[in-house]
Amino acid sequence: MNTVTLVLVAALITIGSRVAALAVLPPPPDALAGVVGRLPAPLFAALAAHSLVGTDGSTPEPAIVVAAVCALAAAARWPSLLITLAAGLGGFGAASLVL
């Protein structure tokens, strides 16, 4: 199985399971929906922290720090995962060019 086929199968499984869940399961209660809606931000914060504090204890590259700060600022302002990712990538790209 080549890489493209593997990625397409994984995408179909992911999309299929989400569509099936929307079609079959009832909507979650408001309290649970609020918690689930806020999950991406802490998960990405954990990933950013892992990137900033490497296993070898060295200081991270300045572009990674800028990316984390930009993503954090966007996440604080907008609850959109797409905007948060775009801000982080934009910050990393800009810092890579400047620094």
User: pTM of the entire structure?
Assistant: 0.56
* pLDDT tens, residue by residue, 11-37: 899 888 888 888 888 888 888 877 777
* pLDDT tens, residue by residue, 46-67: 776 777 776 677 778 888 889 8
Q: Determine the Cα angle at 83 with ends 92 and 32, to 5°.
A: 125
3-state secondary structure the chain: CCHHHHHHHHHHHHHHHHHHHHHHCCCCCHHHHHHHHCCHHHHHHHHHHHHHCCCCCCCCCHHHHHHHHHHHHHHHHCCCHHHHHHHHHHHHHHHHHHC
